[in-house]
């Protein structure tokens, strides 16, 4: 029985095998008792990520049903999916169908394209074949993702620009950072300046660590190891940056300063509102200041410095459009009309 014939029984299997235990038992029975191949089993009882199924048409004109996955309720991560593809030696046609379903599980084509990129990276790391890698590429998804990114960039150009007052220019922030006395309790201004200095998210305030080997404790995707990232900051003195970070962290851990990452916290937002800023702006501003302080030679060098300041994964070359932002960089005393737009991608 060929693959297209097997596919006609998929719906019946999924209808009767209503939970993970039953599906796993049936898979073992088919493999061990009836000597079905892993590929045949994958078609008859595809990996369930939700109860909903979707028909995927393959390039060979065959079709069979596979689950319409949702990442939040998935039984396996993308990394686990890659390992399963290698372990079961799935054919390119089956991989193509599963990759399509993975992309379709995303809220839009841009997110789907990112998931496929992650799957390809995982497969490449496992040494899979060129044919399998190619099976995860879909020109229509790439085209739709590019359109989303173009539309997003147009929206950002028109509406999402970060402007800041003289109080938060590079010169003002650097002057305050140099003068802070760590023997006294930090205030909200100090908290803001340190967050700019290290491009910190509120969620990283209590976990970020600066060591001789690099920066750890940063926010990252689920399952990624805490690999030290290169220290890069508008504060070139690593020891001074570490000193100021520890100063803030000690104040939070002792209860003498609130943690802006706590749910429902509004006091920090109110403080920044007086300057027409919000917490996530500080991280972007800090990345631009790092580029200026380290005197980027060209655009490529500027993006490298910004990526290091934001602690991006150097192996991740995607730039999600939903995190695209423009910071209007200006010096103290310059008017907003004199600002230079810095187009920034925050991949995390």
* Stronger pLDDT, 149 or 79, i.e. the higher one: 79
State pLDDT tens for residues 96-130: 999 999 998 888 888 899 899 999 999 999 999 99
Contact 26, 68 (CB under 8 A): no
Architecture of domain 159-345: Orthogonal Bundle (1.10)
State pLDDT tens for residues 168-198: 999 999 999 999 999 999 999 999 999 999 9
pTM > 0.75: yes or no:
no
In this structure, are strands 324-329 and 161-162 parallel, antiparallel, or unpaired?
parallel
Cα separation values, 241 from 133, 194, 197, 304, Å: 43, 8, 8, 20
Domain limits of the chain?
Answer: 3-139, 159-345
3-state secondary structure of 330: coil
Grade residue 55 by pLDDT with cuts at 50, 70 and 90. very low
Question: Counting beta carbons within 10 angstroms of the beta carbon of residue 305, is it exposed (0 to 12), middle (13 to 18) or buried (19 or more)?
Answer: buried
Residue 237: count other Cβ atoms within 10 Å of its Cβ.
Answer: 12
State pLDDT tens for residues 293-324: 999 988 889 888 998 999 887 765 444 434 55
Q: Which residue has the tokens 């695209």?
A: 324
């Amino acid at each position: 029985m060929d693959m297209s014939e097997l596919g006609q029984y998929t719906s019946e299997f999924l209808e009767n095998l209503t939970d993970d235990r039953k599906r796993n038992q049936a898979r073992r029975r088919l493999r061990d008792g009836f000597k079905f191949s892993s590929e045949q089993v994958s078609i008859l009882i595809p990996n369930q990520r939700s109860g909903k199924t979707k028909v995927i048409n393959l390039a060979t004109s065959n079709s069979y049903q596979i689950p319409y996955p949702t990442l939040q309720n998935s039984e396996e991560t993308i990394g686990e999916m890659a390992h399963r593809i290698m372990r079961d030696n799935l054919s390119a046609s089956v991989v193509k169908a599963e990759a399509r379903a993975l992309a379709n599980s995303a809220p839009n084509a841009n997110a789907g394209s990112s998931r496929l990129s992650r799957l390809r990276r995982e497969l490449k790391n496992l040494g899979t074949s060129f044919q399998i890698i190619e099976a995860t590429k879909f020109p229509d998804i790439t085209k739709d993702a590019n359109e989303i990114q173009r539309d997003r960039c147009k929206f950002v150009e028109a509406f999402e620009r970060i402007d800041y007052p003289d109080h938060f220019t590079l010169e003002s922030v650097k002057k305050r950072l140099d003068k802070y006395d760590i023997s006294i309790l930090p205030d909200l201004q100090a908290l803001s300046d340190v967050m700019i200095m290290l491009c910190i998210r509120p969620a990283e305030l209590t976990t970020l660590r600066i060591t001789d080997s690099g920066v750890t404790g940063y926010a990252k995707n689920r399952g990624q190891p805490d690999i030290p990232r290169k220290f890069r900051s508008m504060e070139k003195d690593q020891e001074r940056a570490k000193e100021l970070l520890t100063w803030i962290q000690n104040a939070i851990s002792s209860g003498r300063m609130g943690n802006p990452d706590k749910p429902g916290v509004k006091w920090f937002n109110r403080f920044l509102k007086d300057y027409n800023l919000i917490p996530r702006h500080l991280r972007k501003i800090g990345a631009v200041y790092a580029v200026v302080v380290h005197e980027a030679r060209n655009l490529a060098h500027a993006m490298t410095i910004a990526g290091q300041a934001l602690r991006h994964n150097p192996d991740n070359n995607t730039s999600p459009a939903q995190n695209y932002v423009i910071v209007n960089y200006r010096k103290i005393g310059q008017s907003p009309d004199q600002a230079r737009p810095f187009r920034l991608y925050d991949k995390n």
